[in-house]
Amino acid sequence: MKKIGLLFAFSVLVTLGASLSASAQQANVIDKCFSCHSDIGSDEATAYKNDIHYKAGVTCADCHGGDPTVEDQDAAMSAKNGYVGVPKPLDIPQVCGKCHGPSSSAMKAKFHLNNVMDDFRASVHGRALNESVDGPQCISCHGAHGMMSINDPHSPVYPTNVAKTCAKCHSKADYMKKFNPGLPVDQYQKYLSSVHGQRNLAGDPKPATCISCHSNHLIRPVKDPRSLVYPTNIPSTCAKCHSNREYMAQYHIPTDQYENYKRSVHGIALLQNSDLSAPACNSCHGNHGAVPPGVSSVASVCGTCHQANADLFDKSPHEAAFAKAKLPGCVVCHSDHLVLQPTDVMIGFGQSAVCGECHKDAPSDSAFSLIKRIKAAFDSLTDGQKDAESLIAQAEQLGMDVSDASYSLKDVNQSLVQARVQVHSFSSSPVLSAANPGMKIVADAEKSATAAIHEYYFRRHGLGISTLIITFLVVLLFLKIKQLERKSRR
């Protein structure tokens, strides 16, 4: 027991000795520059006492050059000893890159630092710095002598401070016009109006900030296909947070939006067909001022692309009914993120129909007869088109020329499109008015195809009868010739 006590005491002494040794080593770092500037109370030295680099053992000379071990100021600050003073803006990334760049260093290995300098040089900020000394560089965002860990709430790049840091440049029109005059300077104000910005302003570090969407060091132009905010990349960028169940749990927001969007008509158009005009998340929710559309504004949001449908809906009886019931317009029938290709089966009371979700399949429902009439109009048009196409195909197989009738059926699709648009008026008259021209085309095509088929069989029957008559006459002629031959032999 006594031995155990001695061993414990010895281990405590060893640990304490090691700790004191480490502290002494930190204290013995020679930095006459810092000592002198501390003695005169310079702002830089005062700020540097709380700098993450100072705590890591980085001396003034590591950034400014010179010899920090000598007392003589002229010798310490001589060019012969590598003194550069205040690095020029273009040189600052190179100075920082000694530890944060691609090259190896003891400091980089000790603190497991990543190479962020190559990313910076390839970013819009790096390119802007190459164009002008006024361009952004490392200290523009991180500060100079009072740099803090990104996990420190006082750091300018802590999540709740990032937007304000970016706004130092991006909210100044006179500064931004030097690099990109067409770039808006109201992004920060819009961000503060967004759900992300409001939560961030309230002190929540989790909602998206500028770097969540644009990246931090490798910020690419929006039109660069590699950019995180290029149209085809926006859904996956938003999904980094919004598909993470654990991350989103406290906000009680569904996390299946991205998976639903990928299956939607919008997602297929954008992600599979690379149609850049197709809507992504920001098309409906906004980008810097991201706010989910309210109940009263859903139709307006959809109407930015589907204007004709939105105009009809606004004048329809559903607009007032939906507003009274506080239903969010278009998404009631079409869904929000899982917007599938609309089809005629959505109309009516069938299994895949949406009318039955609110209305009853019974004459007692005021909309019953209206729904039936609209459904009948579409069935007549689509079924009639199929029947006409079948008759035309049959006539063509028989070798009849029905090209005019076949060509005319192409206009039926236009009637279908117009009739489907008119569904949003929720009135049978506009739907029938749009469908009637198509029905007439179908009827005429069926008539032409039927006449061609009848003509084929008429010709065939006529040919058969003509063949029989000719055969009969040939036989009679043959018999007559034989009769004459017999008479001549007599």
pLDDT above 70: percentage of residues in the chain: 94
* Residue 285 predicted with pLDDT over 80: yes
Structure confidence at residue 46 (pLDDT): 93
Instruction: Spell out the alpha helix ranges (H) of 178-272.
Output: 187-193, 195-201, 210-214, 234-242, 245-248, 257-263, 265-267
Asked if residue 10 has pLDDT above 70, the reply is no
Query: What mean pLDDT is predicted for residues 419-431?
Result: 95
Please, what sign has the CA dihedral across residues 88, 89, 91, 92? positive
What average pLDDT does the segment 359-371 reach? 94
pLDDT of residue 3: 39
* pLDDT reading at 353 higher than 80: yes
Q: How far, rounded to the nearest angstrom, does the alpha carbon of residue 386 sit from its chain's CA centroid?
A: 38
pLDDT tens-digit readout, 66-118: 999 988 888 889 988 899 999 999 999 999 999 999 988 888 888 989 999 99
pLDDT in tens, 247-267: 999 999 999 999 999 999 999
The answer to whether residues 355 and 371 touch, using CB atoms and an 8 Å cutoff, is yes
Q: What is the pLDDT of residue 104?
A: 86
Domain extents in the chain:
344-489
Taking 80 as the threshold, does the pLDDT of residue 245 lie above it? Answer: yes
Angle value at C-alpha 458, between 454 and 462, nearest 5 degrees: 175
List helix spans (H) across 65-101.
73-76, 92-100
Q: How many other C-beta atoms lie within 10 A of the C-beta of residue 209?
A: 24
Q: Report the CATH number of the 344-489 domain.
A: 1.20.140
Residue 488 pLDDT grade (very low, low, confident, very high; cuts 50, 70, 90): confident
pLDDT, residue 99, reads 92
pLDDT at 24 over 70: no
Confidence of residue 293 (pLDDT cuts 50, 70, 90): confident
CA distance 210 to 123: 15
Q: Is the pLDDT of residue 480 over 90?
A: no
Q: Per-residue pLDDT averaged across 28-47, rounded?
A: 86
Contact 115, 102 (CB under 8 A): yes
Least-confidence region, from 36-45, 169-178, 367-376? 36-45
Q: What does the pLDDT read at residue 11?
A: 40
Q: What is the DSSP-derived secondary structure letter of residue 186?
A: -
For residues 214 and 224, give the distance between their C-alpha atoms in angstroms, rounded to a whole number: 12
User: 């361009």: which residue's tokens?
Assistant: 135
What does the pLDDT look like over 441-475, one tens digit per residue? 999 999 999 999 999 999 888 888 888 999 999 99
At residue 259, the pLDDT reads: 97
- Distance CA(62)–CA(58), nearest Å, equals 6
Least confident segment among 205-219, 235-249, 319-333: 319-333
Lowest mean pLDDT among 5-19, 142-156, 392-406: 5-19
**Model confidence band, residue 489 (pLDDT cutoffs 50, 70, 90):** confident
Q: What is the mean pLDDT of the chain?
A: 90
Lowest mean pLDDT among 190-199, 233-242, 301-310, 458-467: 458-467
Q: Give the pLDDT confidence score for residue 29 in this predicted structure.
A: 60
C-alpha span between 434 and 85 (Å, rounded): 79
**Whole-angstrom Cα distance, residue 341 to residue 330?**
14
- For CA atoms 46, 50, 52, 58, the dihedral sign is positive
Calpha distance 327→67 (Å, rounded): 73
Residue 308's pLDDT is what?
93
Mean pLDDT along residues 264-290: 95
CA distance 34 to 388: 92
* This prediction's pTM: 0.80
DSSP SS3 for 458: helix
Please state which of the ranges 1-15, 41-55, 344-358, 370-384 shows the lowest mean pLDDT: 1-15
Average pLDDT over residues 8-27: 36
Q: What mean pLDDT is predicted for residues 410-435?
A: 94
pLDDT at 160: 97
Q: Position 402: which residue type?
A: V
